[in-house]
Amino acid sequence: MASLQRARTLVVGGMRALVTGDPVARRRVLAPLRARVRPTRLGDVDPLLAAYARAGEQIGVDDVVATGLRTKGALLRDVAGLLAERTGSPSWRAGHAELLLVGDDGQDVRAGVDVVSRLVADGAADQLTGRQALLYAHALLRGMRGAAEPGPLVVAGPGEQQLRRELALLTTLSADERADLETDLAHPDLGGDEATWWSGVTRRWREAGMLVPRLLDDDEIADVVGAEAVAAFEELPVLDRVGPDPAELAVLREGLPGRVREAGGDPADLPLVSVVVTAYRPGPWLTTAIRALLDQTWPQVEVVVVDDASGPEHAETIARAAALHPRARVVTRESNGGAYRARNDGVAAATGEYVAFLDADDWIHPERVERALLPLLADPDLPMTRSLALRGDDRLHLAWPGYPAVRHNAAGPMLRRSTLTLVGPFDEVRKSADSEYDARVVAVTGVEPPTIEPALQLTRLRPGSLSRSDFGVGWGVGGRLAYRSAYKAWHRTLPKGEPVTMGERAPFAAPRAWTSDAPHPRVDVLVVDDAADTMVDPASLAADLEALAAGGLRVALLHRENPARMRLYRKGLQAAVRRLVDAGTVTQVHPEEAVEAVVVWVRTPEVAVARRPAPLVSAGAVLVGEPDGAHTHRVTLAWTRAAVEDELATWGVPAPRWVPAAAARDEVAVQVRPRT
């Protein structure tokens, strides 16, 4: 199967290279083939690194970089660096730079900038992928800080000046990416002209012929929300100053009946839209969200603010903000349950024929409700509309490392009440339920909803928020990835057109921290393996897990991608393993979750050689199953005892004992008994 997938990738890449004439695509197809005929000499290098590098050269830079991004391991980064040095290939140099630029440490980021700077100086900037060019530009704008280092998204200094000189040379950037970088460079914080900068921020609305908002002063905002609400900000952030010109808004509202008739609606009978705003200990920015709802061109808007047990000290802030809207009311939860439980409460309290959602710290364009609703009026078969968001920080800097400024807004659908009835409630977990719900709508209705363009929401980027810290370029925390894999498997079982029935939770496993404040209970055995590996007997891992559980042991699984597979794309858990997890027979834990085990069984040694961040594991004993050989896929030496033991030492667990792989399961059971 893997060979077929690899062949398909090469064929697709080859066709793209032929059709587009793209020299980068052509080289990425031809270079692995050339490496098999004339490999790079690596005889003087550490044998483990040399084996991975030799395989990586034959598989291709894209696969190596993708695996390195997902695992966040130093081994694949070193592979790319070695091949960049030995071959001098622009694609390997750029791939190595990409793995450095996403680093948490500023030293790595500066090293990545140096690599790309040399490529640019060599006239090879056109060999960068668009993502690599964007990462480089954002690293320069951020002052070459690491991802884990705090600070503003945009910093004046040498990096920003270098980007000004080189931006025209970064030809693989998209037109939107280039325009947004130019907008950030024009920001007044960098000495730019405010009018030029604001023209860049609002260009999408202007190009779409929409109302172009402006920056309001304190007095204009106080006229709407009150002087006390303005005073609650130490300094009113730029994002919280955005708003429409009243005269332009009035003209748009006057033209609404004609636009409704064009969509097939009745201007004399406009449906009510309920907007659910969930809030947990909100800051003064809640007034920005409510003010945006006041400014909508659609007059029939009901606002349901759900206070997710913020506490009495926040009650006045929430009540004051809600009181700004004549059709707003507050629903107060007795205990904090997370945004999606709060959304379900808001939907239950809403009376509108259509329901939309807004985060408490975001702003929406005055035409947001109208533009999301009109397609639903025009086509009764549409279950919902999707939306886009323009993301920026309080100062409306747009440079979030490696990501375009406009992204799909999973939190911003507009749904029919009938769709909510058919598809069921949101899954009441702490994270990701909006993405699950979007996919569930498609699975149940069989209809792919349209996305409303341009972006009609300003989403506030705040480092450390529930979603921002869970993702990076090509990477995501284990819990989110496992949840996505699980809900996709569930969705495949849902019959189209039939109502979904569920309780508080969907019928599949979710990360424990998303459903409970309690830590994982102590387990007897923590099995560490690549549970998505389809290049081995898919029944083998599931059989071992099931046998241990059948023996009365409490079994947990830590999925750890095998770097020797060098996959281009992420894979979900094997179906047989997924069934055990969803049934509760096996508990899946994730690297970011603390777990205590009597015995840790590293079932495949190469899952512990990538030199990636250590999981939060404590153990009484560690066993490593030792296979007959060390050859995996194209890697002739996929692990060594020293490499495995060095990585396990970073976990803070006891030194491992090696046992033959064929006898490992039985030995695990033997080790557990006296320790429990």
Q: Does any domain span residue 198? A: no
Compute the average pLDDT of residues 345-368. Answer: 97
Give the end of a domain, one of 112, 140, 173: 173
Q: Phi and psi (nearest 5°) for 621?
A: -155, 155
Compute the average pLDDT of residues 140-151. Answer: 87
Cβ 675 vs Cβ 532: under 8 Å:
no
Q: How far apart are CA 171 and CA 641, in angstroms?
A: 46
DSSP annotation of 631 reads -
Q: Indicate whether 227 and 365 sit together in one domain.
A: yes
Q: Does any domain span residue 4? A: no
Asked whether the predicted pLDDT for residue 562 surpasses 80, the reply is yes
Q: Does any domain span residue 340? A: yes
pLDDT band at 24 (very low <50, low <70, confident <90, very high): low
Angle, alpha carbons 124-126-128 (nearest 5°): 90
Angle, alpha carbons 491-497-499 (nearest 5°): 75
Q: Indicate whether 310 and 240 sit together in one domain.
A: yes
Q: Does any domain span residue 140? A: yes
HSE-CB for 338 with a 13 A CA cutoff: 19
Q: Indicate whether 657 and 531 sit together in one domain.
A: yes
Among 148-162, 367-381, 404-418, name the one with the lowest average pLDDT.
148-162
Residue span of the structural domain in which 558 resides = 519-675
CATH value at residue 450: 3.90.550.10
Q: pLDDT exceeding 90 applies to what percent of the chain?
A: 81
Q: Indicate whether 243 and 378 sit together in one domain.
A: yes
Compute the average pLDDT of residues 464-488. Answer: 79
pLDDT band at 433 (very low <50, low <70, confident <90, very high): very high
Q: How far apart are CA 289 and CA 229, in angstroms?
A: 13
Asked whether the predicted pLDDT for residue 597 surpasses 60, the reply is yes
Q: How far apart are CA 176 and CA 364, in angstroms?
A: 20
Number of domains in the chain: 3
Q: Indicate whether 368 and 234 sit together in one domain.
A: yes
Q: Indicate whether 94 and 167 sit together in one domain.
A: yes
Q: How far apart are CA 88 and CA 407, in angstroms?
A: 35
Q: In 3-state terms, what secondary structure has residue 519?
A: coil
Q: Does any domain span residue 206? A: no
Cβ 79 vs Cβ 52: under 8 Å:
yes
Compute the average pLDDT of residues 321-341. Answer: 95
**pLDDT value of residue 88:** 94
Q: In 3-state terms, what secondary structure has residue 492?
A: coil
Among 210-219, 228-237, 241-250, 447-456, name the one with the lowest average pLDDT.
228-237
Give the end of a domain, one of 448, 467, 486: 467
Cβ 331 vs Cβ 304: under 8 Å:
yes
User: E strand or H helix at 319, and its extent?
Assistant: helix 312-322
Secondary structure of 174-240 in HEC code, one letter for each residue? CHHHHHHHHHHHCCHHHCCCHHHHHHHHCHHHHHCCCCCCEECCHHHHHHHHCHHHHHCCCCCCCHH
CA 498 to chain centroid, in Å, comes to 30
Q: How far apart are CA 460 and CA 411, in angstroms?
A: 13
Angle, alpha carbons 20-26-30 (nearest 5°): 155
Helices (H), 263-301: 286-294
Compute the average pLDDT of residues 648-665. Answer: 96
Those residues with Cβ within 8 angstroms of residue 550's Cβ, 6 or more apart along the chain or in another chain: none
Per residue in 416-451, is it b (16+ CB within 10 Å) or e — as a string?
Answer: bbebbebbbbbbbbbbbbbbbbbbbbbbbbeeebee
**pLDDT value of residue 6:** 54
Pairing assessment for the beta strands 471-472 and 475-476 based on DSSP bridges: antiparallel
Q: Indicate whether 319 and 426 sit together in one domain.
A: yes
The DSSP result for 158-172, as a single string, is HHHHHHHHHGGG-TT
Asked whether the predicted pLDDT for residue 466 surpasses 50, the reply is no
Q: Indicate whether 337 and 272 sit together in one domain.
A: yes
Compute the average pLDDT of residues 81-88. Answer: 96
Q: How distant, in Å, are the alpha carbons of 241, 252, 274, 388, 625 from that of 292?
A: 11, 15, 14, 16, 59
**Of 537, 535, 522, 486, residue with least CA distance to 600:** 522
Compute the average pLDDT of residues 445-473. Answer: 83
Q: Indicate whether 134 and 220 sit together in one domain.
A: no
Asked whether the predicted pLDDT for residue 567 surpasses 60, the reply is yes
| Token pair for 434 | 């909006």
Q: Does any domain span residue 407? A: yes
Q: Does any domain span residue 390? A: yes
Q: Which long-range contacts (CB under 8 A, 24 or more apart) does 342-347 make?
A: 342/278, 342/280, 342/306, 342/308, 343/276, 343/278, 343/306, 343/426, 344/425, 344/426, 344/428, 345/306, 346/274, 346/276, 346/277, 346/278, 346/304, 346/306, 347/274, 347/276, 347/420, 347/425
**pLDDT value of residue 473:** 87
Compute the average pLDDT of residues 270-296. Answer: 96
pLDDT band at 123 (very low <50, low <70, confident <90, very high): very high
Asked whether the predicted pLDDT for residue 15 surpasses 50, the reply is yes
Those residues with Cβ within 8 angstroms of residue 251's Cβ, 6 or more apart along the chain or in another chain: none
Q: Does any domain span residue 506? A: no
Compute the average pLDDT of residues 50-70. Answer: 95
Residue labelled with tokens 């006045």? 316
Q: Indicate whether 273 and 365 sit together in one domain.
A: yes
**pLDDT value of residue 1:** 46
**pLDDT value of residue 467:** 46
β partners of residue 416: 354
Q: Per the omega criterion (within 30 degrees of 0), is the bond before 454 cis?
A: yes
**pLDDT value of residue 35:** 76
Compute the average pLDDT of residues 328-336. Answer: 95
Give the pLDDT confidence of 170-202 residue by residue, as tens digits: 999 999 999 999 999 999 999 999 999 999 999
Cβ 198 vs Cβ 215: under 8 Å:
yes
pLDDT band at 463 (very low <50, low <70, confident <90, very high): low
Compute the average pLDDT of residues 379-386. Answer: 97
Residue labelled with tokens 């090696």? 658
Asked whether the predicted pLDDT for residue 17 surpasses 80, the reply is no
Cβ 68 vs Cβ 91: under 8 Å:
no
**pLDDT value of residue 152:** 85
Give the end of a domain, one of 467, 482, 497: 467
Angle, alpha carbons 164-213-233 (nearest 5°): 85
Q: How far apart are CA 554 and CA 424, in angstroms?
A: 33
**pLDDT value of residue 9:** 58
**pLDDT value of residue 167:** 98
pLDDT band at 37 (very low <50, low <70, confident <90, very high): confident
**pLDDT value of residue 30:** 75
Asked whether the predicted pLDDT for residue 12 surpasses 80, the reply is no
Asked whether the predicted pLDDT for residue 10 surpasses 60, the reply is no
**Of 472, 113, 166, 458, residue with least CA distance to 182:** 166
Q: Indicate whether 345 and 430 sit together in one domain.
A: yes
Q: In 3-state terms, what secondary structure has residue 245?
A: coil
Q: In 3-state terms, what secondary structure has residue 364?
A: strand
Q: Indicate whether 462 and 534 sit together in one domain.
A: no
Per residue in 313-332, is it b (16+ CB within 10 Å) or e — as a string?
Answer: ebeebbebbbebbebbebbe
Angle, alpha carbons 655-574-536 (nearest 5°): 65
